[in-house]
Structure 1
Amino acid sequence: MQRQEESGEDIVIVGAGIAGLAAALGLHRKGVRSVVLESSPALRASGFALATWPNAFRALDALGVGDQIRKLHLRIEELRVMSASTGEISKEVDFRDEFCCIRRDVLLHVLASELPTGTIRYSSKIVSIDEHFDGAKILHLADGSTLRAKVLVGCDGINSVVARWLGLAKPSHSGRSATRGFALYPDGHGLPPKFLQFFGHGFRFGFMPCNDTDVYWFYTWSTSTDDHGLDESRAKMKQNVLTKLRSSKVPAEALELVERTEDAPVVPLRFRPPLSLLFAGISKGNVCVAGDALHPMTPDLGQGGCAALEDGVVLARCLGEAILAGDGDGATGGSEKERIDSCLRRYVGIRRWRSIELIGTAYIVGFFQQSNNRIISFLREKVLAGVLVGRLVKMSDHDCGTLSS
Structure 2
Amino acid sequence: MEVVQDVVIVGAGIAGLTTSLGLHRLGIRSLVLESSDSLRTTGFALAIWTNAWRALDAIGVGDRLRQQHDSLLGNVVSSRISGLQLFEMSFKEKGKHGDHEIRCVRRKLLLEALASELPSGTIRFSSKVVSIEESGYYKLVHLADGTILKAKVLVGCDGVNSVVAKWLGFKPLVFTGRSAIRGSAEYTTSHQFDPKMMQYFGNGVRSGVVPCDSKNVYWFFTWSPPSQEKELEKNPPQLKQYMLTKLGKLPDEVRAVMENTVLDAFISSPLRYRHPWEILWGNISKGNVCVAGDALHPMTPDIGQGGCAALEDGIVLARCLGEALLKNWREEIREEGEEGKEEFKRIEIGLNKYASERKWRSFDLISTAYVVGVIQEADGKVMTFLRDKVYSSILSGLLLKKADFDCGKLRSS
Smaller-chain TM-score bracket: over 0.9
- For residues 65-144 of structure 1, the aligned pairs below 5 Å read 65-96=61-92, 97-132=100-135, 134-144=136-146
In structure 1, how many angstroms separate the alpha carbons of the residues matched to 2:278 and 2:346? Answer: 27
Secondary structure (helix, strand or coil) at the match of 1:335 reads helix
Consecutive unaligned residues in structure 1, runs of 5 or more: none
Preserved CA contact (<8 Å) 2:15 2:310: yes
Shift of 1:225: 2.2
Partner of 1:357: 364
Partner of 1:166: 168
Select which of 2, 7, 23 maps to 2:3.
7
- For residues 160-309 of structure 1, the aligned pairs below 5 Å read 160-245=162-247, 248-262=248-262, 263=264, 264-309=266-311
In structure 1, how many angstroms separate the alpha carbons of the residues matched to 2:292 and 2:258? Answer: 33
Q: Deviations over 1:79-127 (max 9, x none)?
A: 1011111122222111122100000000000000000000000111001
Structure 1 position 18 matched with structure 2 position 21: no
Select which of 341, 344, 369 maps to 2:376.
369
Preserved CA contact (<8 Å) 1:283 1:344: yes
Shift of 1:316: 0.2
For the aligned residue pairs, the C-alpha RMSD in angstroms reads: 1.3
Partner of 1:38: 34
Preserved CA contact (<8 Å) 1:207 1:215: yes
TM-score (norm 2): 0.94
- For residues 48-67 of structure 1, the aligned pairs below 5 Å read 48-67=44-63
Shift of 1:201: 1.4
Shift of 1:223: 2.2
Q: Which region of structure 1 is more displaced relative to structure 2, 40-49 or 259-268? A: 259-268
Preserved CA contact (<8 Å) 2:43 2:267: no
Q: Deviations over 1:206-257 (max 9, x none)?
A: 0111111110000000121231311110111110111011xx2210111111
Consecutive unaligned residues in structure 2, runs of 5 or more: 93-99, 332-338
In structure 1, how many angstroms separate the alpha carbons of the residues matched to 2:321 and 2:116? Answer: 22
State the identity %. Answer: 54
Shift of 1:135: 2.5
Secondary structure (helix, strand or coil) at the match of 1:278 reads helix
Amino acid in structure 2 at the alignment position of 1:399:
D
Preserved CA contact (<8 Å) 1:181 1:217: yes
In structure 2, how many angstroms separate the alpha carbons of the residues matched to 1:153 and 1:356? Answer: 20
In structure 2, how many angstroms separate the alpha carbons of the residues matched to 1:361 and 1:268? Answer: 19
Partner of 1:324: 326
TM-score (norm 1): 0.96
Amino acid in structure 2 at the alignment position of 1:320:
G
Amino acid in structure 1 at the alignment position of 2:112:
H
In structure 2, how many angstroms separate the alpha carbons of the residues matched to 1:233 and 1:47? Answer: 18
Secondary structure (helix, strand or coil) at the match of 1:375 reads helix
In structure 2, how many angstroms separate the alpha carbons of the residues matched to 1:126 and 1:327? Answer: 28
Secondary structure (helix, strand or coil) at the match of 1:327 reads helix
Q: Deviations over 1:50-104 (max 9, x none)?
A: 0010000000000111100100001111110111111222221111221000000
Preserved CA contact (<8 Å) 1:169 1:273: no
Preserved CA contact (<8 Å) 1:12 1:37: yes
In structure 1, how many angstroms separate the alpha carbons of the residues matched to 2:87 and 2:350? Answer: 43
Structure 1 position 336 matched with structure 2 position 343: yes
